[in-house]
Amino acid sequence: MCRHRRSLANMPSRNPCTNSRTLTRISKAFSFLFILSSYDSVMHPKTASIFVAIFLVLAATSVSYANASTVQWVKYAGNPVLTPTQGDWDGDFVTTPRVIYDGTLFRMWYQGGHSGITHIGYATSSDGVTWLKHGIVLSAGQPGDWDSSSIGLGSVMWNGTDYLMWYTGTNGVTYPGGAVGLATSTDGQNWVKYAGNPVLAPSSLGNDQKYIAAPYVISLKLTYNMWYTGKSSASPNVNKILYATSFDGIHWSKWPSPVLTPATNATQWDAGGVYSPGVIWNGEIFGLWYSGINQTGVVPSIGFSTSPDGGSWTRSANNPILVAGPSGSWDSAGVEQPSVVLGPSGYMLFYDGYSSVQGQQIGLALAPQGFTVAEFSMPALELLVGMMICSTLYVACYRRTRVHR
């Protein structure tokens, strides 16, 4: 069932999710045309023809727009857009970009590391390409804390008054495989960890008993929705994507089964594991970009899936939608950790990549002008046929009323 809820500012707000929505729009168009026919006593035939022509042109335009969805992501020629700063806290690698665009400024939170110690950093940009780093904004806890051993970025969202960050932390004694914590900020730089952390911990004998990472949260009208990476005792070496919901972002209810698992065909690009989800809600359906790896355990790629409810996912026929670069390139060994936002000119996919001689760096893939995600597109043929039917029916009504004068 289609829903009309709207979530974060980085989400598109158009496109139907089912054929029924298209039919609804067609019926509205027909109603408008029928109303026009009732005023034919004051409408000149040439005026009526102009209205019909306008509807047909709009239909043709929609066909062109939807067909543009076959265009694939194009890596920015100037990649990488964010690199390690030698000798600094992020001197070895920068990874896991999480980006918000507010219409004016791009804000990126990312994970960086040096000499085995990781932190979460913050950077800003006016164009999504040239970034200004603002340093460390969140670090591991003090000895004895639940996140004292390490920290990892999950996701960041703006709720209208504050920034909310869900992140992972580990402790060698209580949470060796990780748990999820929450932090809040008014400016994106100064963060306060929630006193009741962690907000999501491993379940005994559950799908996340052995490992929890990469929580990605979006807020809909009534609920917070989290997708995250987990490993179970039964499959301790296989990453799967799990799902949980909450009314406050603190108390979570886990779904009983993974919502995205490795491909059953052993030859597929994501048969070895799926992890690090990045999700948007376009007002009607969910879109999930994720990292996947084959059974050899090398060269990760990025795929895409859609869902009507956040729990049942359908992989794109175009997967993987982003792959490693050619030999010798900065991302020749793999691409992963996707974060997608709707920028001023279309979708922008931030990701990290690496090579055999260089640790993770952050790159950008652009959606060319006119690009749409195929699974989000208007069923163009149905729209065109519907508009032609509307026009035909209008002409018939017009002629009938002229005859009965």
User: What DSSP letter does each residue of 283-336 carry, written as one string?
Assistant: SSSEEEEEEEE-TT--S-EEEEEEESSSSS-EE-TT--SB----TTSTTTTEEE
Does the pTM of the predicted model rise above 0.75?
yes
pLDDT digits (tens, 9 = 90+) for 188-215: 999 999 999 999 999 988 899 999 999 9
Q: Which helix (H) or strand (E) holds 66?
A: helix 45-67
Q: Which tokens in the block code for residue 23?
A: 């039919």
Q: Which residue has the tokens 């970025």?
A: 153
Of 136-150, 333-347, 365-379, which range is least confident?
Answer: 365-379
Cβ proximity of 213 and 228 under 8 Å: yes
Q: Which helix (H) or strand (E) holds 351?
A: strand 346-354
Residue 37 CA neighbour count, 13 Å, CB half: 20
pLDDT digits (tens, 9 = 90+) for 354-380: 999 999 999 999 985 555 666 665 444
How distant is the alpha carbon of residue 337 from its chain centre?
A: 11
Residue 24 has pLDDT above 50, yes or no: no
Residue 385 has pLDDT above 90, yes or no: no
Q: Identify the CA nearest to 232 among candidates 263, 254, 264.
A: 254
pLDDT of residue 6: 28
Kindly report the backbone phi and psi dihedral angles of residue 85, in degrees, each rounded to the nearest multiple of 5, phi listed first. Answer: -100, 110
Coil vs helix vs strand at 91: coil
- Please report, for the chain, the start and end positions of each structural domain, with discontinuous segments joined by +: 19-70+378-403, 74-369
Residue 67 has pLDDT above 80, yes or no: no
Q: Which residue has the higher pLDDT, 218 or 62?
A: 218
Burial 95-112 (b: 16+ CB within 10 A, else e): bbbbbbbeeeebbbbbbb
Q: In sequence order, which residues have a C-beta less than 8 Å from that of residue 325 and are 6 or more positions away?
A: 75, 331, 332, 335, 353
Kindly report the backbone phi and psi dihedral angles of residue 55, in degrees, each rounded to the nearest multiple of 5, phi listed first. Answer: -60, -40
Q: In sequence order, which residues have a C-beta less than 8 Å from that of residue 198 and are 6 or more positions away?
A: 146, 147, 169, 175, 179, 180, 181
The fold of the 74-369 domain, in CATH, is Tachylectin-2; Chain A (2.115.10)
